[in-house]
């Protein structure tokens, strides 16, 4: 088996240059263990957990280093949830990246997502080497990452599947492992023997001691045609459903929408379970190779991982936003606005947002997902939305509410326009705080300036636009018997929403 991999790899040196290198960013998922910052409609990959840039933006910017080592296509291929499309596109634009954004109408895990990406690349009979990366990981040393990708391309061009393995530094029970075999080729690759599920502590300690098991990073390098061959071989139901969904796809502005009923019928499965765990089998049609990645990798899956990555004071405390410590040890405090005062705390995580506060022992942060499940079961909004909700035209912040009323601060970007809409159960008062508003109310169209206001009666068609060059800020006071966001009837929308 080793000789086959070696000969394939050696023969690739003269051919892999003709295959384009394509970055594929898998940007689905919700990151429930990082609640209350991560929510269903604003998941962890869109949040600046470690700095100003979001994890998605850091992932996209990482491609600059990859390009310096081995040319990669300028356009990125991204697969994300439909609800996150506008924020995803805007965040990419801010770091100078563009590309095709494939929209998943429902979440079906990473194997279907990668299949959609491979189908997009296979159009017209073309092939490409995919660098498939989750959007929510951290890479501390981007040069080392780029070097590992460059080494992986030779194996991938020869038809092998390459996964990045992290040489473990501790007996981690929260990661899956890969058992690595003998060296193959001349680019530091090792034969992939098999994948191992998350172990208990004693097993993780034995893995660490043996040196034969590496963490599974979830980063893969392989040809699009090879993935399609493997998914057809190991999980034909996914291949068939994704094929039908892609055949029913349609372009929508900067997005590619796949067929919803076809994709909804697709089984939900991860890349690892659908394909990768079978690569070490004797009858596998493709061989797996593991490249060591020593680049400060983390999947930042929980609050203790965030604490571990950030700079600390002499007592091991981390403060983000307004936080003070007195006699505190190994405490993580994240404030979105209010002051957090930690007195005598030890091994504690405190995360504050405008509508929720998390307090947890560092050793128990994995259980945050249980709280999120309870919030959803009780139909609480805190699992899905933040108080500030982003829209393609700007955002709104629900600053107060009570029986029969709700107050929002609305900010519309220059050139932004809300849909032409109507409500069955509420009326609205609009007061302009700054900027200029172009208002459509029934058959009227008029401008409002700072300190001017208008009233939108219940059942009246209306639209709000910003015709100016500075953001429009206004206060909206809603009154009525029902104030839910689903009480919107859209007649026309610039952004294709229904």
What is the token pair recorded at 249? 């796809």
User: Which of 2-16, 196-210, 446-460 is predicted with the least confidence, judged by mean pLDDT?
Assistant: 2-16
**83-97: average pLDDT:** 92
Question: By C-alpha distance, which of 90, 84, 70, 86 is closest to 28?
Answer: 84
What is the token pair recorded at 251? 């372009």
Residue 172 pLDDT: 86
**317-344: average pLDDT:** 97
Q: Does residue 85 carry a pLDDT above 50?
A: yes
Spatial contact of 458 and 427, defined as CB atoms under 8 Å apart: yes
Q: In whole angstroms, give the CA distance from residue 337 to residue 314.
A: 25
> CB count, 10 Å around CB of 174?
15
Q: In whole angstroms, give the CA distance from residue 301 to residue 201.
A: 18
Give 175's pLDDT tier (boundaries 50, 70, 90): confident
Instruction: Note the pTM of the prediction, 2 decimals.
Output: 0.88
388-492 CATH pick, 3.30.70.20, 3.30.300.20, 3.40.50.2300, 2.60.120.10? 2.60.120.10
**193-198: average pLDDT:** 87
- Domain 2-301 adopts which CATH fold? Spore Coat Polysaccharide Biosynthesis Protein SpsA; Chain A (3.90.550)
User: Which of 181-185, 348-352, 361-365, 400-404 is predicted with the least confidence, judged by mean pLDDT?
Assistant: 181-185
Q: Does residue 17 carry a pLDDT above 60?
A: no
Question: By C-alpha distance, which of 49, 28, 56 is closest to 304?
Answer: 49
Q: In whole angstroms, give the CA distance from residue 74 to residue 67.
A: 9
Q: Does residue 30 carry a pLDDT above 80?
A: no
**344-362: average pLDDT:** 97
User: CA-CA-CA-CA torsion for 179, 58, 76, 28, nearest 10 degrees?
Assistant: 70
What is the token pair recorded at 339? 């002051």
C-alpha pair distances (Å), 467 with each of 13, 139, 371, 422, 450: 56, 41, 43, 21, 14
Using alpha carbons only, give the angle 374, 376, 382 rounded to the nearest 5 degrees: 100
pLDDT tens track for 278-319: 887 878 888 899 999 999 999 898 999 999 999 999 999 999
**87-106: average pLDDT:** 92
| HSE toward the beta carbon, residue 303, CA cutoff 13 A | 33
Residue 69 pLDDT: 78
Give 123's pLDDT tier (boundaries 50, 70, 90): confident
Question: What's the full length of the chain, in residues?
Answer: 498
**312-337: average pLDDT:** 97
Helix (H), strand (E) at residue 492: strand 489-492
Q: Does residue 371 carry a pLDDT above 90?
A: yes
Domain locations in the chain as residue ranges: 2-301, 304-377, 388-492
Q: In whole angstroms, give the CA distance from residue 406 to residue 291.
A: 55
Q: In whole angstroms, give the CA distance from residue 149 to residue 166.
A: 14
Q: Does residue 2 carry a pLDDT above 60?
A: no
Q: Is 356 exposed, middle or buried (0-12, 13-18, 19+ CB in 10 A)?
A: buried
């Amino acid at each position: 088996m080793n000789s086959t991999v070696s000969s394939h790899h050696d023969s690739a040196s003269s051919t892999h240059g003709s295959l384009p290198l394509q970055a594929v960013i898998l940007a689905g998922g919700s990151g429930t263990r990082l609640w209350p910052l991560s929510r269903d409609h604003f998941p962890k990959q869109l949040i600046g957990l470690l700095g100003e840039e979001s994890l998605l933006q850091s992932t996209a910017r990482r491609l600059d280093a990859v390009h310096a080592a081995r040319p990669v296509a300028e356009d990125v291929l991204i697969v994300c949830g439909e609800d996150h499309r506008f924020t995803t596109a805007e965040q990419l634009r801010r770091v100078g990246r563009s590309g095709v954004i494939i929209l998943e109408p429902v979440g079906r895990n990473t194997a279907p997502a990668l299949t959609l990406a491979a189908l997009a690349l296979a159009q017209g009979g073309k092939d490409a080497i995919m660098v498939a990366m989750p959007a929510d990981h951290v890479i501390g040393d981007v040069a080392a990452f780029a070097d590992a990708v460059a080494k992986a391309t030779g194996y991938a061009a020869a038809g092998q599947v390459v996964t990045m393995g992290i040489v473990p530094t501790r007996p981690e029970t929260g990661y899956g492992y890969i058992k690595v075999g003998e060296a193959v080729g001349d680019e530091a690759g090792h034969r992939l023997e098999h994948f191992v599920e998350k172990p208990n502590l004693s097993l993780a300690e034995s893995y660490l001691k043996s040196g034969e098991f590496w963490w599974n990073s979830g980063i893969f390098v392989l040809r699009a045609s090879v993935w399609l061959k493997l998914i057809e071989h190991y999980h034909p139901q996914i291949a068939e459903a994704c094929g039908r969904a892609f055949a029913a796809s349609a372009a929508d502005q900067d997005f590619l929408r796949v067929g919803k009923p076809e994709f909804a019928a697709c089984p939900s499965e991860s890349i690892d379970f659908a394909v990768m765990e079978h690569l070490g089998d004797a009858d596998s049609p493709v061989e797996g190779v593991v490249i060591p990645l020593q680049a400060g990798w983390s999947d930042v899956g929980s609050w203790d991982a965030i604490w571990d990555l950030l700079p600390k004071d002499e007592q091991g405390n981390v403060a983000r936003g307004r936080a003070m410590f007195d006699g505190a040890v190994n405490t993580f405090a994240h404030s979105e606005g209010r002051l957090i005062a930690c007195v005598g705390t030890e091994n504690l995580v405190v995360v504050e947002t405008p509508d929720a506060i998390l307090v947890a022992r560092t050793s128990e942060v994995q259980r945050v997902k249980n709280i999120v499940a309870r919030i959803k079961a009780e139909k609480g909004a805190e699992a899905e939305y933040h108080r500030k909700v982003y829209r393609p035209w700007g955002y709104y912040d629900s600053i107060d509410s009570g029986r029969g009323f709700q107050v929002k601060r609305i900010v519309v970007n220059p050139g932004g326009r809300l849909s032409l809409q109507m409500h069955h159960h509420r009326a609205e008062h609009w007061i302009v705080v700054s900027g200029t508003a172009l208002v459509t109310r029934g058959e009227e169209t008029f401008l409002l300036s700072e300190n001017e206001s208008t009233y939108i009666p219940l059942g009246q068609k209306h639209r709000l636009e910003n015709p100016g060059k500075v953001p429009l800020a206004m206060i909206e006071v809603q009154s009525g018997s029902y104030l839910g966001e689903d009480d919107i009837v859209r007649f026309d929308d610039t952004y294709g929403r229904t």
